[in-house]
């Protein structure tokens, strides 16, 4: 299995609300597809899909849960970009889980949750290289 | 906020076990970092990190949950690759949630869960282009 991730599907309970949120962040949804919304995110795809449908598709429980142990991260080039992106997310309807703060490994990070509760970390990590096209490279 | 995902963190309860699993799939962990394992995954990074630590970092509940409504996908170039990757995952210690099967939109997909229960879809989608470098492009 090649070391790559092609898609991350975020399950939603209200597609219109979820789509509005990501569009308010400046993401552009790709042409209409029934019951699913796709965003090109660099070399991969982020998709929005109904939680019940996804649970049925993958034999996963539709109910219960909460934090499933997956956190998405968006890394930025400058320290000040963290607060800017958190503000932008809050304005688009996100819940701020934790405001920007210095962290022991030398970075500056904050967290928000999207309207379905999916956690996002917004991070400035001076140890990671962000290329021109936005992709990140480990040292 | 640019439309890109920099990192996906998979929370784990047993780092050695989780790392062994992804290494058994052929992924190469990057140099040692305290308490975290990084894999370069194309232009992004997949990281393994303790669940309790992550929950504390992001003000998320450490307990409870189960399916958190995020599904990771690995898209392959050929239909037959789906079963091959599912077999490889099972051999590495994954639980097969759903074996490969035809799906209404014309693709062929199956699902496995990694040792911490994180769901992965393995998909052949004739409508998506997979570039030379493994990145995917929406039509």
Q: What is the pLDDT of residues B84-129, one digit of tens each?
A: 999 999 999 899 999 999 998 899 999 999 888 889 999 999 988 8
Alpha-carbon distances, residue B55 vs A66, A70, A94, A100, B45 (angstroms): 12, 10, 18, 16, 19
Query: In this complex, do A10 and B85 lie within 8 Å of one another by their Cβ atoms?
Result: no
**Neighbour tally for A137: CB within 10 Å:** 12
> In CATH, what number does A70-134 get?
3.10.180.10
Chain A interface, best mutation among B5, B32, B102, by max A CB count within 10 A: B5
Alpha-carbon distances, residue B82 vs A72, B108, B122, B123 (angstroms): 25, 7, 6, 6
Predicted confidence at residue A2, as pLDDT, reads 82
Name residues whose C-beta falls within 8 Å of residue B107's C-beta, 6 or more positions apart in sequence: B123, B124, B125, B126, B127
Q: Which CATH class is domain A1-60?
A: alpha beta
- Domain ranges for chain B, please list them: 1-62, 70-139
Q: Which CATH class is domain B70-139?
A: alpha beta
Answer whether A4's CB lies under 8 Å from A22's CB.
Answer: no
d(CA A128, CA A74): 12
d(CA B94, CA B71): 15
Tell me yes or no: is domain B1-62 CATH 3.50.50.60.
no
Task: Name the pTM for this structure.
Answer: 0.87
Query: In this complex, do B44 and A44 lie within 8 Å of one another by their Cβ atoms?
Result: yes
pLDDT tens string A63-119: 665 678 889 999 999 999 999 999 999 999 999 999 999 998 899 999 999 888 889
B31 in contact with A, Cβ within 8 Å: yes
Closest CA to A9 of A54, A41, A75, A52: A54
B127 in contact with A, Cβ within 8 Å: no
Topology match between the domains B1-62 and B70-139? yes
Predicted confidence at residue A84, as pLDDT, reads 96
A51 in contact with B, Cβ within 8 Å: yes
From A17's Cα to the closest Cα of chain B, the distance in A is 16
């Amino acid at each position: 299995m090649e070391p790559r991730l092609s898609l991350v599907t975020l399950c939603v309970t209200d597609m219109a609300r979820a789509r509005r949120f990501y569009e308010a962040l400046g993401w552009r949804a790709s042409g209409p597809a029934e019951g699913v919304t796709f965003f090109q995110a660099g070399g991969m795809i982020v998709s929005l899909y109904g939680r019940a449908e996804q649970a049925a598709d993958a034999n996963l429980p539709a109910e219960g849960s909460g934090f499933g142990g997956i956190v998405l991260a968006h890394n930025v080039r400058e320290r000040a970009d963290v607060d800017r992106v958190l503000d932008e997310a809050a304005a688009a309807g996100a819940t701020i889980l934790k405001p920007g703060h210095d962290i022991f490994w030398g970075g500056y990070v904050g967290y928000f949750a999207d309207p379905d509760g999916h956690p996002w970390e917004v991070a400035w990590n001076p140890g990671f290289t962000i290329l021109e096209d936005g992709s990140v490279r480990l040292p």
